[in-house]
Each structure stands twice: as C-alpha cells, then as structure tokens.
Amino acid sequence: SQTIHQWPATLVQPVGSPLSLECTVEGTSNPNLYWYRQAAGRGLQLLFYSIGIDQISSEVPQNLSASRPQDRQFILSSKKLLLSDSGFYLCAWSPDSGTQYFGPGTRLTVL
C-alpha cells in the first residue's frame, strides 16, 4: 500500500533563516505531488504542484520554492523565512488528477 511521509513534524525557526521540508511517497510511481499551507483559521491553499521530476508549478507568488529531485520526493524550501510563512504545511500525492492523499503535515513557527 502507499504511504506518505513528511518531516520534520514541527519546526521553530527564526526570521531570515532557511527552510527545507521534505515529503516522500512510498508504494507508487510517478505520482502527482502537491504542497499546501493551512494558516490559522483558514482553509488549505495550494502552493505548488508537480506532475513529474523537475516539473514544478507555482500557484501563488511567495517566499517559498519547491523541487522534485526524485520521482517520489518533493521538497519545500526558502532562503529566508518571513513571519508570514508560519503555518501548517501539508504534502499530498495523487495517482492521477483525482483523489489526493495527504501526509501528516509539518507545523512551522517562524519567530
């Protein structure tokens, strides 16, 4: 069966520091991959999606970037974190363009 992992589970970082969040999927190949952010009291907002290695699309202008160096690995990064980057980051995968399956998430606090 397929599983999705995210790490770290929680992270506290100072403003201006770099960021790297990792997401990996097991048990499938060539999945669509997605990064979402959930800010406090708000729904989930799609940040990036990828339909293949090195194929990344950005949905909103922001301080973050994404990369997909391997088929089942999706990385969310920032060179310099802002306070507004705080939130709950969710990675998701889909075998096609249908149902998405979500990881456990990373709670990021920027101080």
Partner 1 sequence: AQSVSQHNHHVILSEAASLELGCNYSYGGTVNLFWYVQYPGQHLQLLLKYFSGDPLVKGIKGFEAEFIKSKFSFNLRKPSVQWSDTAEYFCAVSLSGNTGKLIFGQGTTLQVKP
Residues lying near partner 1 in the complex (CB under 8 A) are found at: 32, 34, 36, 41-46, 49, 51, 57, 59, 90, 92, 94, 96-105
Least separation in angstroms between CB 92 and partner 1:
8
- Residue 83: which of 9, 11, 16, 8 has the closest Cα? 16
Question: Residue 19 or 47: which CB sits closer to partner 1?
Answer: 47
Least separation in angstroms between CB 101 and partner 1:
7
Least separation in angstroms between CB 65 and partner 1:
18
What number of other Cβ atoms are within 10 A of residue 58's Cβ?
14
